Each structure stands twice: as structure tokens, then as C-alpha cells.
Amino acid sequence: MKRAYKLRAYPTRPQEGRAVRLLADHCDLYNAALAERREAWRMRKVRVSYGDQSAQLKEIRAADPDGQGRHSFTAQQQTLRRLNATFGAFYNGVRHAKGKQRRVGYPRFKPYQRYDQVLFVAGDGANWAPADGGRWAHATVQAVGRVKVNQHRPVPGRVKTLQVKREHRRWYVIVVTETEIVALPPTGRSVGVDVGVARFLTSSDGEVIANPQFLDTARERIVDLQRRKARSRPGSGNRRRLRRALANECRKVRNRRRDFHHKTARALVDTYDTLALEKLRVSAMTAGASGTVDHPGRNVGAKAGLNRSILDAGWSQFTSILVAKAESAGRRVVLVYPARTSINCHACGARCARPRQDIVVCPVHGELDADLNGARNIAARAGLGSGQAPAA
């Protein structure tokens, strides 16, 4: 199973200069190869193949050691393949164009500013060093250097290709990975999962996973460091030390939380064939609670605390880890629309009262655990029946 991850890259000024040069050199190669094909057809009515052009690369590189010779051989082959694919589309387009309005035009020369990507085979001219729990990953690209990449989401699987891409003034690295689907033996069980603030997770089977304790202790340490840093003199060595300590502390929390997410997701994927969860919109939830200046959210103080808990829970990270693990294990994930899963009774659908955060009261069924009720609604909405485990 192949997946692509588009990640923002932050080259330094000199690296950016070299990356621009990388694109320009590949653009030259592309245009030269296109010129050769055109000429061959015009003069001799001969079609030049990818193989013909690839065979000339060695010579081209040797003749231009400070230009083409500096770049990755396989990346140059990719550029020639790209041109080949363009010609393929042109020939096919012409062949199928009878009676159709649109036809694929003859491949054109590309100006530098429109030539915006170079594809590398991983391990050959470009290497990927994952963030490993932190935020920054690195892509080492031949003739450019070791470039910082913001890895905002996990990149599971074996890295196959790395693509350097420019969009306006921004740079991206597109990482394509391959994960083997190692199907786990079916368990015959399915589950609805409710994500919470008070608890990390509640399943429709009634299983509860609490928020990890380390977040509380870490938060105390972080608040303390922030306070000391605010009091320290700007530009002082002490302030610099505190800033570094603060960054280290935050990184540790992120690592431990990610670890916790992986373990929790692993256990769920091992246990269930089908997993249902809400399409969670964390940004909407957090924005809504804080309100705006004109219309402050009700009880802003308490909700600000709630927001922080939501952010701490890192739900979007957990969801993407769970989805990736489920896919590579051949499990099914159903994302359900989240409206009203918490307030309607899972058994009869009646609207419940919610006197406290942790319980709902159904007019028919009485007091229910709010998160468990939510989890069972999610299961039901995903078509998994009431979500209760079948009798063992």
C-alpha cells in the first residue's frame, strides 16, 4: 500500500539557492531531452525512447561535471521518465482524440519558473531521517544538503521516493512510503470509540482508558519553566538555558504522548476487526469554546482549561496513528459524522438531559455514562449494531 505525505520543508538561504539550481538543472535536462526528440522526429522521423536518452546520461554528466554531473543519476532518469510519460500521454491522446474536443498537445518546453519538482528514489540521491517523536525531520538531498522538514504527522512504512517541490515561495518534500498489509487474524469483534476530555478514550464495550498521568506533572514543570523564563533578563545566558530546557521538556511530552498513542492504537487494532470513531474536528471544538472577543464563549475560564486538555489529548495525532495501523493490518475504520452522538440515548434515541459532564439522563433508560453512551452511538452509526460486544 503506497501513501504520499506532503510536508513543508524549510531550507536555509544557501540551501534554497542550491535547490533553485537543482530545479533549473533538471529543467535544462528536460528541455534538452525534449529538443532531441523533436529534432529526431523532424529530421529523420525517428522516435527517441526513454532508453535511448537514459543511455546518454553518463556522457552528459561527464561533459558537465559542475552542472549535470553534480546531480543524482537516478533522479535524472526520473526526469527523463517524466518526459517520456508526457510523450506517452501525447501519443495516446492523439490516438484517442477522434471525435473528441480535447486533445493532448505536443509536449512543450518548460520555463524555469514552471519547472517545480524533482523526484528522487529514496537512498539514492536523497535520504529521509524521520522526526522520531519530535517535530523536525530531515531530508538530505544531493547537491542541496540536509534540509529541515516539518513532520506534522507520522510517516509510517518504508520510504520509496522523495520529491522536492516548490510552490510559489514555499518548499515541500513529498514522501511516498509503502506499507505491507500484514492482515491480522479476524477476531469477529467490532467497537465504537469515543474520545473524551475527562478520559482519553471510552469504548462501546465499556473499556475506559484514562488520560496519561505524565501530562499533569509535565505541565507543572513547563509552567514553572515558562514563569522563570519570563522573569529572566532578555539576552542573558540564563534565559537561553531556560529556553532550551523548556524546548526539551515539550519535546519529551510529545514523545511520551506519541508513544502512548501508538500503544493504545496497537491494542485496539489487535482486538477489533472494525473500529468506528468520530470524525473529530479539534480546531472547531477549541475555537468554539474560547469564543471571540465580541461573543466570548460561556464560562471562558473553564473552557480554556478544557481546550488545553483537548490539545493535550492530541486527538488528531491518535486518529491518524490508529487509521494507519488499522490499514496496514487489514482492519476497517469507519469515521462517523459526530453530531449529537453524546446527547441522544444509544438504546432508544431519545434526547437526554446532561446534568453533569460525565453523565446523561435518558427519560426512558435513566442515568447513563456519557462517554459510554457516546461510544455506543458511534458504533450504531457505523452500522455495528448497538456496539455492545456479542456474548462470548
Chain positions contacting Zn ion, by CB under 5 A:
345, 347-348, 350, 362, 364-365
Position closest to Zn ion via CB: 345
Which residue, 48 or 345, has its beta carbon nearer to Zn ion? 345
Which residue, 306 or 360, has its beta carbon nearer to Zn ion? 360
The three grid cell numbers given for residue 141, joined into one nine-digit string:
538531498
The three grid cell numbers given for residue 314, joined into one nine-digit string:
492530541
Q: Least distance to Zn ion from the beta carbon of 324, Å?
A: 36
Radius of gyration (C-alpha) of the chain in whole angstroms: 28
Which residue, 33 or 368, has its beta carbon nearer to Zn ion? 368
For Cα atoms 129, 131, 136, give the angle at the middle one, nearest 5 degrees: 105
For residue 278, which of 318, 343, 337, 327 has the smallest C-alpha distance?
A: 337
Residue 160 in contact with residue 122, Cβ under 8 Å? yes
Q: Least distance to Zn ion from the beta carbon of 148, Å?
A: 53
Which residue, 62 or 364, has its beta carbon nearer to Zn ion? 364
Which residue, 189 or 365, has its beta carbon nearer to Zn ion? 365
Which residue, 160 or 365, has its beta carbon nearer to Zn ion? 365
Q: Least distance to Zn ion from the beta carbon of 350, Å?
A: 5
What number of CA atoms fall less than 13 Å from residue 276's CA on the CB side? 25
Question: 291: how many CB neighbours lie within 10 A of its CB?
Answer: 15
Q: Least distance to Zn ion from the beta carbon of 361, Å?
A: 9
Q: Least distance to Zn ion from the beta carbon of 386, Å?
A: 12
Q: Least distance to Zn ion from the beta carbon of 364, Å?
A: 4
Question: 105: how many CB neighbours lie within 10 A of its CB?
Answer: 10
Which residue, 362 or 382, has its beta carbon nearer to Zn ion? 362
Bridge partner list, 147:
139
CA separation for the pair 181, 374 (Å, rounded): 31
Residue 280 in contact with residue 322, Cβ under 8 Å? no
Residue 121 in contact with residue 69, Cβ under 8 Å? no
Q: Least distance to Zn ion from the beta carbon of 359, Å?
A: 13
Q: Is 39 helix (H, G, I), strand (E, B) or coil?
A: helix
